[in-house]
């Protein structure tokens, strides 16, 4: 553990060296659950990134010109290969992330397989050119076409190193783009495994490329001539990345941090709410952007709810993530343990009570006990800042209104959860909570729904990663307008005359004031 922390620190030094232009040529990957060195990957230089983007641009021409049905059929070959080789992928995910086998299977591999299946079936409909009837210029016919943007850059984090990048890579390539992916420095091997499977499935090598490296490799990708960037990561890096995109006028999608509140109403099914808090708080050891990060429990049920959450948490089995009967594995990024300890110390100093857990587990490996703290309040950082670790902080509230007010008192707004025995009441509360997605009587599940938009408001980012619009966002909408009737003269063109001015003035009134009779007549056609 100590050795690994030192080696990780060396990684940071390598990042600084890379920034200084004295780039380390390889980055190392360690198993967070054991500390073992797993392998290494290239530290891709800016010149190499530019060359990748140039190759992607060439490959995109042919790929984007294929009929969409053909692109979908080919991407399904990649899905089939992933499923065929799922044991290999799951094994690497378990080793490189220290996440439990179940989660590698369900939250990474299965989510990717399902996303491809959905978009391969529906992309031809979603991206079909559509006629747009013009409400005024009846003499013209307008069509909107969805044209691939070109080369899409994807920069992704370490917590879901298979599902998150492939979600964006695969929607981009189905839409007809080529992609260069910069994965997190902490999990380069799983990204290279995805690339190996892509190539082995016979898909065009330059349509999907992987540039492993540190932050400067990601910065180089933004500067290498891409047409769109999808960034998933923390708020502070996201701010820098969005600024870099802004300078170059590159459109971007930002999927940033979360601080998901879970509201437990007095009428909630307490067993389901407690299990939801435990699963939502400790899945992937809390390293999920939509983890349950703070709980507001109604005073009427607070004590019973907390007791049940503590009982269920004590039953969790933490340890070797390669065993199917383990619930919690390791902390992927060592600094997350220090962040968890800082939040915990602040909460305890301000009066919170640690009801279970609260300590890092002795090595080997980076593990932190699943921790429940009660008696929390909004002065504690654990209730206001992203934890990204296995801590569930709980606060007692007097009413649902207080819960909604506190839930909304945040700079983040990715996911939120409401538990109520009355679905209508739950839905009404959900409408008042400020977040990109709100689930009633459930947690986390929207990350596995490719049909619906996924993303945040406030500083959780902008743009959406799933849903039909995400596929369209991988394209430039192109408007083509064609005349319906041939005329040599257009009354809107030159020459301007007193007569035409008077005519248009009457037209303005007829169309936009009074009874709107003319407008209603036009609407008939
Ligand atoms: P970071 O923001 O630290 O890094 C994200 C990616 O950006 C990494 O690949 C990183 O490379 C790269 N990067 C770092 N500096 C730059 C730069 N200057 N220019 C371009 N790229 C750069 O996030 P983490 O990897 O620590 O991931 C955790 C965060 O991700 C959490 O805040 C979490 O909430 C958020 N997240 C959001 C999700 C969402 O869908 N909204 C989903 C999952 C996570 P390197 O690793 O080499 O530094």
Could you write out the three-class secondary structure of 470-517? HHHHCEEEEEEEEECCCCCCCCCCCCCCHHHHHHHHHHHHHHHCCCCH
Query: Active-site residue among 72, 252, 289, 475?
Result: 289
* pLDDT bucket at 523, cuts 50 / 70 / 90: confident
- Is 100 part of a structural domain of the chain? yes
Determine whether the shortest distance from the Cβ of 388 to ligand 1 is under 6 A. Answer: yes
Q: Same domain, yes or no, for 250 and 275?
A: no
The reported pTM is 0.94
The owner of tokens 């990350």 is 447
The predicted model gives 170-174 an average pLDDT of 98
* Cβ of residue 126 lying under 6 Å from some atom of ligand 1: no
- pLDDT recorded at residue 16: 37
Compute φ and ψ for 129, nearest 5 degrees.
-60, 140
User: Do 270 and 190 belong to one domain?
Assistant: no
Q: Other CB atoms closer than 10 Å to residue 66's CB: what's the count?
A: 14
Region 141-166 average pLDDT: 98
Minimum mean pLDDT among 188-197, 464-473, 511-520: which range? 511-520
- Whether 299 maps to a domain, the answer reads yes
**Same domain, yes or no, for 341 and 271?**
yes
Q: How confident is the model at residue 294 (pLDDT cuts 50, 70, 90)?
A: very high
- The answer to whether residue 307 is domain-embedded is yes
In the block, tokens 């060195």 appear at 37
Answer yes or no: is 241 within a domain: yes
Residue 492: inside a domain: no
- 141 and 289, same structural domain? no
> Of ligand 1's atoms, which has the minimum distance to the CA of residue 222?
20
Domain CATH number, residue 169: 3.40.605.10
Report if residue 456 sits inside a domain: no
| Residue 258 Cβ contacting ligand 1 at under 6 Å | yes
Closest Cα to residue 90, out of 77, 79, 103? 103
Do 57 and 95 share a domain, yes or no?
Answer: yes
279 and 142 together in one domain: no
Residue 95 has pLDDT above 70, yes or no: yes
For residues 205 and 291, state if they share a domain. no
Residue 2 lies in a domain: no
Do 50 and 159 fall within a single domain? yes
Does 518 reside within a domain?
no
Instruction: Name the pLDDT band for 19 (thresholds 50, 70, 90).
Output: very low
C-alpha–C-alpha distance, residues 187 and 97, integer Å: 7
CA atoms within 13 A on the CB side of 470: 30
Note whether 397 and 428 are within 8 A (CB).
no
Q: What is the pLDDT of residue 363?
A: 80
Task: Please tell me the total count of domains within the chain.
Answer: 2
Residue nearest to atom 48 of ligand 1 (CA): 215
Average pLDDT over every residue of 103-113? 98
- 342 and 354 in a single domain? The answer is yes
Q: Are 66 and 80 in the same domain?
A: yes
Q: Does the pLDDT at position 9 exceed 70?
A: no
474 burial via Cβ count (<10 Å: 0-12, 13-18, 19+): buried
CA distance 282 to 291: 8
Give me ligand 1 centre to Cα 398, in Å.
Answer: 37
What's the CA gap between 275 and 261, in Å, rounded?
15
Query: At 230, phi and psi to the nearest 5?
Result: -110, 120
Q: Say yes or no to pLDDT of 21 above 50.
A: no
Q: What is the pLDDT of residue 23?
A: 55
* Average pLDDT for 217-232: 98
Residue 357: pLDDT band with limits 50, 70, 90: very high
Confidence of residue 518 (pLDDT cuts 50, 70, 90): confident
Tens of pLDDT, residue by residue over 188-220, are 999 999 999 999 999 999 999 999 999 999 999
376 is catalytic: no
Contacts by 431-440, CB closer than 8 A, 24 or more apart: 432/404, 432/408, 433/261, 433/263, 433/404, 433/407, 433/408, 434/407, 434/408, 434/410, 434/458, 435/260, 436/460, 436/464, 437/290, 439/415
Residue 467 backbone class (left: φ over 0; alpha: ψ -120 to 50; beta: rest): left
- Return the H-helix or E-strand segment holding 181: strand 178-182
Q: Are residues 185 and 314 in the same domain?
A: no
β-bridge mates for residue 374, sequence order: 353
Same domain, 409 and 272: yes
Q: Which domain holds residue 205?
A: 42-256+467-476
């Amino acid at each position: 553990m100590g050795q690994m922390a030192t080696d990780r620190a060396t990684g940071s030094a390598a990042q600084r060296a890379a920034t200084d232009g004295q780039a380390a040529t390889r980055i190392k990957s360690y198993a967070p659950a054991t500390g073992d060195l797993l392998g290494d990957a290239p530290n891709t230089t800016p010149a190499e990134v530019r060359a990748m983007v140039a190759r992607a641009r060439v490959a995109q021409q042919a790929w984007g010109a294929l009929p969409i049905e053909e692109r979908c059929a080919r991407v399904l070959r990649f899905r089939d290969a992933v499923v065929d080789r799922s044991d290999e992928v799951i094994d690497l995910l378990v080793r490189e992330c220290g996440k439990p086998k179940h989660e590698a299977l369900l939250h990474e591999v299965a989510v990717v397989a399902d996303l491809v299946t959905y978009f391969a079936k529906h992309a031809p409909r979603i991206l079909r050119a559509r006629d747009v009837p013009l409400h005024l210029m009846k003499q013209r016919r307008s069509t909107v076409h969805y044209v691939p943007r070109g080369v899409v850059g994807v920069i992704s984090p370490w917590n879901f190193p298979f599902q998150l990048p492939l979600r964006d890579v695969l929607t981009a390539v189905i839409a007809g783009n080529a992609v260069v992916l910069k994965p997190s420095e902490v999990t380069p091997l799983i990204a290279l495994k995805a690339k190996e499977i892509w190539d082995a499935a016979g898909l065009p090598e330059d349509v999907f490329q992987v540039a492993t490296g540190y932050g400067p490799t990601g910065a180089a990708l933004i500067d290498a001539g891409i047409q769109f960037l999808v960034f998933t990561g923390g708020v502070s890096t996201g701010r820098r990345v969005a600024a870099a995109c802004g300078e170059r006028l590159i459109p971007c999608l930002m999927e940033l941090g979360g601080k998901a509140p879970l509201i437990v109403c007095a009428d909630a099914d307490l067993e389901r709410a407690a299990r939801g808090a435990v699963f939502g708080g400790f899945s992937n050891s809390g390293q999920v952007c939509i983890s349950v990060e703070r709980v507001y429990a109604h005073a009427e049920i607070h004590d019973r709810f907390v007791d049940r959450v503590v009982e269920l948490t004590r039953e969790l089995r933490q340890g070797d993530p390669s065993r199917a009967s383990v619930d919690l594995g390791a902390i992927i990024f060592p600094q997350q343990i220090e962040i968890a300890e800082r939040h915990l110390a602040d909460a305890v100093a301000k009066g919170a009570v640690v009801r279970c857990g609260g300590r890092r587990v002795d090595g080997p490996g980076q593990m932190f006990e699943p921790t429940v703290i009660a008696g929390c309040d909004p002065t504690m950082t654990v209730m206001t800042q992203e934890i990204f670790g296995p801590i569930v902080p709980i606060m007692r509230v007097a009413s649902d209104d207080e819960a909604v007010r506190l839930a909304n008192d945040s700079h983040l707004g990715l996911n939120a959860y409401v538990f109520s025995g009355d679905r209508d009441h739950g839905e009404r509360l959900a409408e008042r909570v400020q977040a990109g997605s709100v689930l009633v009587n459930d947690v986390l599940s929207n990350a596995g729904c490719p049909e619906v938009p996924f993303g945040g408001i406030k500083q959780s980012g902008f743009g959406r990663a799933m849903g039909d619009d995400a596929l369209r966002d991988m394209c430039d909408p192109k408007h083509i307008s064609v005349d319906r009737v041939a005329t040599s003269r257009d009354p809107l063109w030159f020459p301007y005359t007193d007569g035409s001015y008077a005519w248009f003035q009457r037209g303005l009134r007829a169309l936009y004031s009074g009874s709107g009779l003319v407008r209603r007549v036009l609407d008939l056609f």
